[in-house]
């Protein structure tokens, strides 16, 4: 019997679920310093993109593109950072971060640059609603 997919506890702790796309769970990082989305393909045991079959790789690229377009449209950001690092969380996940000239880490990477900033509840709901509408959740 193959193992069932589940979200890594660290991702579950550090992010809020927005919904499921055809392949991936879409999450929002709890760090309000940056509009920061995370795609997690729902495939048990996937650590690297090459662990996905060819169809899933194509689906992941499509989802990355759609989420990037949505995030750029919603935020009007200067730059999108897209990364699948996995050095601390081995489960395959892709960070999509909207960056602005002058943000808390600019021009450096966001990891460890500034303490995480908690979202205001209304701001969180509004942003998640905009992402859901733009990515087809409703």
Range scoring the smallest mean pLDDT among 27-36, 87-96, 103-112: 103-112
pLDDT of residue 22: 96
pLDDT of residue 112: 87
pLDDT of residue 3: 79
- CA distance readout (Å), 6 to 13, 51, 57, 66, 86: 13, 16, 19, 23, 16
Cα–Cα dist 37/97, whole Å: 6
pLDDT of residue 2: 58
The pLDDT of 115-136, averaged and rounded, is 94
Answering whether pTM is above 0.75, one says yes
pLDDT digits (tens, 9 = 90+) for 59-99: 999 999 999 999 999 999 999 999 999 899 999 999 999 99
User: Is it true that the peptide bond before 33 is cis, omega within 30 degrees of 0?
Assistant: no
pLDDT of residue 1: 44
The pLDDT of 32-42, averaged and rounded, is 97
Q: Output phi, psi for 74, to 5 deg.
A: -75, -40
C-alpha atoms less than 13 angstroms from C-alpha of 137 in its C-beta half-sphere: 19
CA 77 to chain centre: 16
DSSP state of 17: E
Question: What integer best gives the mean pLDDT of the chain?
Answer: 95
DSSP 25-88: EEEEES-TTS-EEEEEE--TT--SGGGS-HHHHHHHHHHHHHHHHHHHHHH--SEEEEE---SS
pLDDT at 138 over 80: no
The residues with which 41 forms a beta bridge, in sequence order, are 24
Cα–Cα dist 82/67, whole Å: 10
The pLDDT of 2-18, averaged and rounded, is 93
């Amino acid at each position: 019997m193959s193992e069932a997919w589940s979200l890594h506890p660290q991702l579950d702790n550090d992010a809020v679920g927005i919904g499921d796309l055809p392949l991936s769970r879409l999450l929002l990082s709890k760090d309000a310093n940056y509009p920061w989305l995370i795609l997690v393909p729902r495939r048990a045991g996937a650590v690297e993109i090459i662990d996905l079959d060819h169809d899933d790789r194509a689906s992941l690229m499509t989802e990355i593109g759609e989420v990037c377009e949505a995030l750029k449209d919603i935020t009007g950001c200067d730059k999108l950072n897209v990364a699948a690092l996995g050095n601390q969380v081995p489960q395959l996940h892709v960070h999509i971060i909207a960056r602005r000239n002058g943000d808390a880490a600019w021009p450096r990477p966001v990891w460890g640059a500034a303490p995480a900033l908690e979202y205001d509840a209304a701001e969180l709901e509004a942003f998640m609603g905009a992402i859901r509408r733009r990515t087809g959740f409703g």
